[in-house]
Amino acid sequence: MALETGSSDCDGRGWGGGFQSLMRRKQDLLKQVDAQPVNVKDVDRMRREMQAIEDDIANAEKGKAALKDKVWEVEAKLVTKLEELERHADQ
């Protein structure tokens, strides 16, 4: 299935024909998509892939939270060390 790109300027042709033309084109494309058969195996595969992506995101968020905690810990230690150095410098 080939899609027409049409003219890029607003001259009433192709994609540039204004809002109404775009809406008609969108509806035509939606009808074409709806007319395509759905393969159950593909749907199952996509669900598994989506679940894997969601799991990866959750793991990344956990890792990010752990890194933030570590940053807070290191910053607190740095403040303590700087205060110690200041006390030694004042003596």
Residue pLDDT, tens place only, 41-79: 888 998 999 999 999 999 999 999 999 999 999 999 999
CA dist 78 and 61 (Å) reads 26
Q: Are 27 and 35 in contact (CB under 8 A)?
A: no
Structure tokens at 9: 């300027």
User: Can you give the pTM of this predicted structure?
Assistant: 0.49
Q: How confident is the model at residue 90 (pLDDT cuts 50, 70, 90)?
A: confident
Provide long-range contacts, Cβ within 8 A and 24+ apart, for 51-58.
none
Q: What is the mean pLDDT of residues 10-22?
A: 61
List, as one string, the DSSP characters of 52-80: HHHHHHHHHHHHHHHHHHHHHHHHHHHHH
